[in-house]
């Protein structure tokens, strides 16, 4: 409880490092003691002074308090953060939400877009536990593929598979098409997925078909991040507090909304793009 209260307190920090990952994505590193215990799947509410506060997944957090997030510029707040330089001040609350459970055995990761950020953090934690660790990462084009070099360092040879829709890198197909062919050939014990919801829905359907455990990290509109405002509701769950990571059995319970709808800023149900 005390940890939750501390986590929800707004802290300010200076940006220590900025790295360009793609034409639209940058990684920001800063120090924050509260995040030392952060786990893969958890997220921060990131305050860009004078602009807005937005949820961002934790890309990495280690014992010395260094934390990083990856941000894709899509609108006002993410663009403002994207433009920030080393030394500038930002604010944060968190870490919030649950985390992926660290399973053993033969593990399959499926990620797309900035969804690869929490999966990279998870991959680092699972590397010593898994008997086999295969990562499938997808993007529209080579330029948009994220963290390939870092995943290559962790996954042993042949176990990182990149897909692009235009064939500019890796295999020309959707990440889920590759997932389908992998599952037809090989047995896995668990699937972890994060990325566009249609991709995660397809991964869920395939996991159900093959009887494999799955965990997926959902994105919904977040404001309070502590379960009070209801912006992030999916069925009986609040994504900020009960998630963002959901098991296949929880996803079955919210099947009428998963991959189908979300809430807008007024709480109205609207179709997912």
Ligand X SMILES: Cc1cc2nc3c(=O)[nH]c(=O)nc-3n(C[C@H](O)[C@H](O)[C@H](O)COP(=O)(O)OP(=O)(O)OC[C@H]3O[C@@H](n4cnc5c(N)ncnc54)[C@H](O)[C@@H]3O)c2cc1C
Residue 72 touches which of ligand FES, ligand X, none (Cβ within 5-8 Å per kind): ligand X
Within residues 234-263, the interface with ligand FES by CB under 6 A covers 238, 240
Per rule CB under 6 A, is residue 232 in the interface with ligand FES?
yes
Cα–Cα distance for residue pair 200/141, rounded to 1 Å: 19
Residue with tokens 């307190």: 9
Within residues 101-160, the interface with ligand X by CB under 6 A covers 114, 117
Q: Give 110 or 117: the residue with its C-beta nearer to ligand X.
A: 117
For residues 23 to 52, the per-residue mask of contacts with ligand X, x marking binding by CB under 6 A and - elsewhere, is --------------------x--------x
Q: What are phi and psi of 19, to 5 degrees?
A: -130, 130
Q: For residue 71, what are its two tokens?
A: 């941000």
Using DSSP, state whether 229 is helix, strand or coil.
coil
Cα–Cα distance for residue pair 19/4, rounded to 1 Å: 30
| Closest-CA residue to 134 (of 160, 152, 169) | 160
Q: Give 99 or 163: the residue with its C-beta nearer to ligand X.
A: 99
Q: What angle do CA 103, 244, 75 make, to 5 degrees?
A: 130
Per rule CB under 6 A, is residue 76 in the interface with ligand X?
yes
Residue 229 touches which of ligand FES, ligand X, none (Cβ within 5-8 Å per kind): ligand FES
Residue 238 touches which of ligand FES, ligand X, none (Cβ within 5-8 Å per kind): ligand FES
For residues 173 to 212, the per-residue mask of contacts with ligand FES, x marking binding by CB under 6 A and - elsewhere, is ----------------------------------------
Shortest Å distance, C-beta 182 to ligand FES: 34
Using the contact rule CB under 6 A, the part of the chain among 27-35, 74-82, 122-130, 183-191 near ligand X is 74-82
Q: Give 161 or 194: the residue with its C-beta nearer to ligand X.
A: 194
Cα–Cα distance for residue pair 95/195, rounded to 1 Å: 20
CB atoms within 10 A of CB 254: 18
Report the greatest alpha carbon distance in the chain: 52
Residue 76 touches which of ligand X, ligand FES, none (Cβ within 5-8 Å per kind): ligand X
Cα–Cα distance for residue pair 98/227, rounded to 1 Å: 12
- For 210-223, b/e burial (b = at least 16 CB within 10 A) is eebbbbbbbbbbbe
Using the contact rule CB under 6 A, the part of the chain among 162-170, 186-194, 232-240, 260-268 near ligand FES is 232-240
- Binding ligand FES (rule: CB under 6 A), the pick from 65, 105, 227, 235 is 227
CB contact at 8 A, 98 and 109: no
Residues 6+ apart with CB under 8 A from 219: 55, 197, 239, 244
Per rule CB under 6 A, is residue 55 in the interface with ligand X?
yes
Query: Which residues bind to ligand X, rule: CB under 6 A?
Result: 43, 52, 54-57, 69-72, 74-78, 114, 117, 219-222, 244
């Amino acid at each position: 409880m005390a940890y939750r209260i501390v986590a929800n307190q707004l802290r300010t920090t200076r940006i220590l490092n900025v790295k360009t990952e793609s034409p639209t994505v940058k990684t920001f590193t800063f120090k924050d003691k509260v995040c030392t215990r952060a786990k893969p799947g958890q997220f921060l509410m990131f305050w860009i002074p004078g602009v807005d506060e937005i949820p961002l997944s934790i890309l990495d957090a280690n014992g010395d308090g260094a934390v990083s997030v990856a941000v894709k510029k899509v609108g006002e707040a993410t663009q403002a953060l994207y433009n920030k330089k080393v030394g500038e001040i930002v604010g944060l609350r968190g870490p919030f939400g649950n985390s992926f459970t660290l399973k053993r055995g033969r593990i399959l990761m499926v990620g797309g877009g900035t969804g690869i950020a929490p999966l990279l953090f998870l991959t680092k934690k699972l590397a010593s536990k898994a008997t086999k660790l295969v990562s499938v990462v997808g993007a529209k084009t080579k330029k948009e593929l994220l963290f390939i070099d870092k995943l290559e360092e962790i996954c042993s040879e042949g176990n990182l598979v990149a897909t692009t829709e235009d064939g500019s890198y890796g295999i020309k197909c959707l990440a889920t098409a590759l997932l389908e062919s992998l599952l037809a050939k090989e047995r896995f014990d668990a699937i972890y997925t994060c990325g566009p919801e249609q991709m995660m829905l397809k991964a869920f359907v395939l996991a159900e078909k093959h009887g494999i455990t799955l965990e997926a990290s959902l994105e919904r509109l977040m404001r309070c991040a502590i379960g009070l405002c209801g912006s992030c509701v999916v069925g009986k769950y609040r994504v900020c507090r009960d998630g963002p990571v959901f098991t296949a059995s929880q996803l079955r319970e919210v099947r009428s909304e998963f991959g189908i709808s979300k809430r807008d800023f007024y709480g109205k149900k609207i179709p997912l793009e």
